Amino acid sequence: MTEHTAKSDSSNAWGYHRPVMLEEVLAGLNLKRGGLYFDGTVGGGGHSYAILEADPTVRLVATDKDDEAISEAEKRLKCFEGRYRLVHTDYKQFENALAPEDRLDGFLLDFGISSHQIDDGARGFSYRIAEAPLDMRMDRRSPLTAEDVVNGYGEEALIKLLRMYGEEQFAPSIVRNIVRARAKERITTCGALKALVEEGIPPKFRSAACARKTFQAIRIEVNGELEGLEACIRGLIGRLKVGGRACILTFHSLEDRIVKQVFRDLSSDCVCPKNFPVCVCGKRKQLEIIGKKPLTASEEEIESNPRSKSAKLRIAEKIAE
């Protein structure tokens, strides 16, 4: 494996968004001279910058559905003009960003929410910013907001949402508080929602971050984060050349489960029942999973960037069409 390191940009303040597990991603992509790479969630351009800097012969196509991320990435990547293309779209629409004949030498999907999105009160992602509006849209062209979900979804739908996307065991009591409160006045701020969540959790289970699961569930719903995810990953793997690498960063168990399942399926041969004398399914192994377990951030990175603590990086190499 060829090792690459990000040099000049890593010494600068990250500003918009600090990329997670940067060195591990570069090593995992195993950059090839003249290769074409896809960064599906460009953020502030941190990973993309490192890819373009590591090898002056590689080219990159990057997408993001956040207009601010695209604008920030354009500033950061300007010094590589002619070697990259940015497209303001959801990575699940990668077919609109790639030319029909494009075959990839590697792709990166980073499912983490950006530092800027969390810290910008106007975006409404954080339960720590009390007066922030309930928004949570990564793509501000989207009509559905967190306020719409909190005030418009029925009680049973909200309970199901918190259980399914937040794995929140206290979903019924949290939702009862929400329903009672919204009957009196519309819930419009992150602080108001956080207070209702905390009231719905028994005192011995409360913590400074006890609203995290509810906010995660609503954010996933607003942005449709899990919808079409499996099809997208399979589609991008289909675009890989033999020898190309898939690198996927996840930050919670729901998305990681999907990635793990796809990798496992595409890295296995015949799935016929064992009592069949010969294979009739015709399934053949397409991927080789790199590493027995997903990579996680180092202690040093977690110390300097606590948001990397939950990150898991899964890597696979395409070995056959």
Distance between start and end Cα atoms, the chain = 22
Which pLDDT score is estimated for 16? 59
Q: Beta strands 287-295 and 240-250: pairing type? A: unpaired
**Rounded-to-integer distance, Cα 279 and Cα 294, Å:** 31
CATH code of 120-223, in short, is 1.10.150.170
pTM of the model: 0.91
Sort residue 87 into left (φ over 0), alpha (ψ -120 to 50) or beta.
Answer: beta
Transcribe 5-54 into DSSP letters.
Answer: ---GGGGS--TT-PPSSHHHHHHHHT--TT-EEEES--TTSHHHHHHHHH
Closest alpha carbon to 26 in 65, 55, 59, 66:
55
Give tens-digit pLDDT for 40-85. Answer: 999 989 999 999 999 999 999 999 999 999 999 999 999 999 999 9
Range(s) of the chain covered by CATH 3.40.50.150: 8-111+226-269+314-318
- Give the phi and the psi of residue 293 in degrees, each rounded to 5: -130, 155
Which pLDDT score is estimated for 17? 65
Which pLDDT score is estimated for 95? 97
Kindly give the parts of the chain with pLDDT less than 50: 1-13
Give Cα separations from 58 to 20, 31, 35, 37, 61 (angstroms): 21, 8, 5, 8, 10
Which pLDDT score is estimated for 232? 98
**Rounded-to-integer distance, Cα 23 and Cα 6, Å:** 7
**Rounded-to-integer distance, Cα 295 and Cα 101, Å:** 32
Q: What are the percentages of helix, strand and coil residues in the chain, rounded to 5? A: 45, 15, 40
Give tens-digit pLDDT for 99-143. Answer: 999 999 999 999 988 877 888 888 999 999 999 999 999 999 999
Which pLDDT score is estimated for 3? 37
Which pLDDT score is estimated for 69? 93
H or E element, residue 216: helix 212-223
Distance of CA 129 to the CA centre of its chain: 22
CATH code of 8-111+226-269+314-318, in short, is 3.40.50.150
Range(s) of the chain covered by CATH 1.10.150.170: 120-223
**Rounded-to-integer distance, Cα 158 and Cα 148, Å:** 12
